[in-house]
Amino acid sequence: MELKIGIRGKAETVVTEENTAKSAGSGNLQVFGTPYMIALMEKAACEAVAPYLDEGCTTVGTQLNVAHLAATPLGDRVTAEVELVEIDRRRLCFKVTARDSVDLIGEGTHERFIIQADRFLEKANAKKGS
């Protein structure tokens, strides 16, 4: 399988007390939290391209430009959808959206880089000795 523009992905969750703005500390209300919406978008992007990567490779998120447009109450389902719109060597750019059962609740762009997992972790873990 070849990594190419147009690859799509999706991830879903249900709003619970554990993924609210109040739980994340990003607000005081029991509605779907922005950090969790962003994580759902990143999950959809990561999983969408995973089958196309060489063994030992994965992607890491490096940039987000996302607007959270509408609140989602407890018990509602949220679906994040992504489309790969640009490939520049190891840099992947996605169009991202999130919807609940009623509204478009978030949209924007997300950038990920393809990395060698073992080298990436080795470099990160080297910080422990600093």
- pTM, full prediction: 0.96
Residue 17 is a catalytic residue:
no
Per the CB < 8 A criterion, the answer to whether 94 and 65 are in contact is no
Q: What is the pLDDT of residues 34-47, one digit of tens each?
A: 999 999 999 999 99
Mind listing the domains of the chain with CATH numbers? 8-129 (3.10.129.10)
Per-residue pLDDT tens digits for 52-95: 999 999 999 999 999 999 999 999 999 999 999 999 999 999 99
68 is catalytic: yes
Q: Return d(Cα 16, Cα 71) in angstroms, integer.
A: 13
Q: Looking at 42, 59, 97, 111, which residue is catalytic? A: 42
- pLDDT of 130 reads 65
First vs last C-alpha separation in the chain:
41
